[in-house]
Amino acid sequence: MAAKSKSKPKQSAQKTPAAKAAAPSRLKAEVPRTLTFPPGFWSQNWIPAVVLMGLAVVLYAASSGFGYVLDDQMVIWENAYVQKGFGGLRDIFAYDSFMGFFQKKEALYLLEGGRYRPLSLATFAVEVGIFGKDHPGVSHIVNIVLYGLTGVLLFRILAGLFPMKENGRWYFSLAFLASLIFVLHPLHTECIANIKGRDEIMALLGSLGALYAVLKYYDRNSSGWLVLAGVSLFLALLSKENAVTFVAVIPLTVWFCTKLPSGRSLTSTLPLLAATFLFIIVRYKALGFMLSHGKPITDLMNDPFMGMTGGEKLATTFLTLGWYLKLLFVPHPLTHDYYPYHVPKVTFSDWRVLLSLALYLGMGIWALLNLRKRSVPAYAIAFWLLTLSIVSNLVVSVGTFMNERFTYMPSIAFCILAAWFITRKLPEWFKEQPEQPGILATGLMIAVAAFFGWKTITRVPDWKNAASLNEAAIRVSYNSARSHCFYVTSLYKDVYQKTKDPVQKAALVDSMEYHIKRSLEINPNYSAALVMRSAVAAARFEQDHQLDKLFHEFEYIMEKIPYNPNFRNFLDQYMKYLDGSNADKYVAFCHRAGYEFYFQKKNDPQTALKFLQFGIDRQTEDIRLLDDASEVYTALGDPAKAAEMKARANAQRY
Mean local confidence (pLDDT), 101-125: 89
| Spatial CA neighbour of 606 closest among 636, 628, 586 | 636
Indicate if the pLDDT at residue 19 is higher than 50. Answer: no
Interval 269-312: pLDDT, tens: 999 999 999 999 999 999 998 878 778 888 899 999 999 999 99
Tell me how far apart the alpha carbons of residues 61 and 457 are, in angstroms, rounded to a whole number.
Answer: 10
- Does residue 540 surpass a pLDDT of 70? yes
Superfamily (CATH) of domain 582-654: Tetratricopeptide repeat domain (1.25.40.10)
Measured between alpha carbons, how far is 445 from 459 in angstroms, rounded to an integer? 21
Question: Does pLDDT of 405 surpass 90?
Answer: yes
Q: Which residue has the higher pLDDT, 249 or 438?
A: 249
pLDDT tens, residue by residue, 461-515: 999 999 999 999 999 999 999 999 999 999 999 999 999 999 999 999 999 999 9
pLDDT tens per residue, range 160-213: 999 988 888 999 999 999 999 999 999 999 999 999 999 999 999 999 999 999
pLDDT at position 29 is 35
What value does the CA radius of gyration of the chain take, rounded to a whole number of Å?
30
Cα 618 to Cα 289, 440, 611: the distances in Å are 51, 80, 11
Q: How confident is the model at residue 13 (pLDDT cuts 50, 70, 90)?
A: very low
Question: Could you tell me where the DSSP H helices lie in 132-223?
Answer: 136-161, 174-184, 189-193, 198-220
For 356-383, what is the mean pLDDT?
Answer: 97
Residue 37 has pLDDT above 80, yes or no: no
pLDDT on residue 56? 98
CA–CA–CA angle 309, 315, 395 (5° rounding): 85
The Cα–Cα gap between 452 and 12 comes to 36
Contact 524, 307 (CB under 8 A): no
Q: What is the pLDDT of residue 294?
A: 77
Q: Is 115 in contact with 98 (CB distance < 8 Å)? A: yes
Q: How far apart are CA 19 and CA 435, in angstroms?
A: 11
- Burial of residue 478 (number of CB atoms within 10 Å: 0-12, 13-18, 19+): middle
480-564 and 582-654 share one fold: yes
The domain segmentation of the chain, as residue ranges, is 42-63+140-459, 480-564, 582-654
Asked if the model's pLDDT at residue 592 lies above 70, the reply is yes
Q: Give the pLDDT score at 26.
A: 34
Share of the chain above pLDDT 90, in %: 82
Both ends of the chain: CA-CA distance in Å?
106
d(CA 120, CA 249): 23
Residue 420 has pLDDT above 90, yes or no: yes
The pLDDT, as a whole number, for residue 28 is: 38
Please check the confidence at residue 109 and state whether its pLDDT lies above 80. no
The confidence score (pLDDT) of residue 347 equals 98
The pLDDT assigned to 34 comes to 56
Average pLDDT, stretch 8-33? 39
Ordered alpha helix ranges (H), 266-309: 269-287
The answer to whether residues 179 and 208 touch, using CB atoms and an 8 Å cutoff, is no
The per-residue pLDDT for 30 is 43
Residues 591-619: what's their mean pLDDT? 96
Mean pLDDT of the chain: 92
Q: Is the pLDDT of residue 423 over 80?
A: yes
Other C-beta atoms lying within 10 Å of the C-beta of residue 158: 24
> What is the reported pLDDT for 264?
75
- Looking at residue 390, the DSSP 8-state letter turns out to be T
pLDDT in tens, 373-393: 999 999 999 999 999 999 999
**Which of 461, 452, 446, 411 lies closest to 184, judged by CA?**
452
Measured between alpha carbons, how far is 628 from 610 in angstroms, rounded to an integer? 12
Task: Give, for 653, the enclosing helix (H) or strand (E).
Answer: helix 639-653
Neighbour-count burial for 293-326, b at 16+ CB within 10 Å, e otherwise: beeebebbbbbbbeebeeeebbbbbbbbbbbbbe
Give yes or no for a contact between 185 and 452, defined as CB atoms under 8 angstroms apart.
yes
pLDDT digits (tens, 9 = 90+) for 255-268: 998 877 777 778 88
Sequence-distant (6+) residues with CB within 8 A of 358 are none
Total residues found in the chain within this entry: 654
pLDDT value at residue 53: 98
Q: How confident is the model at residue 35 (pLDDT cuts 50, 70, 90)?
A: low
In the CATH scheme, what is the code of domain 480-564?
Answer: 1.25.40
Flag whether the pTM goes above 0.95: no
Q: Identify which has the larger pLDDT, 7 or 619.
A: 619
pLDDT digits over 332-343, tens only?
999 999 999 999
Would you state the pLDDT for residue 505?
96
Which amino acid belongs to residue 460? Answer: V
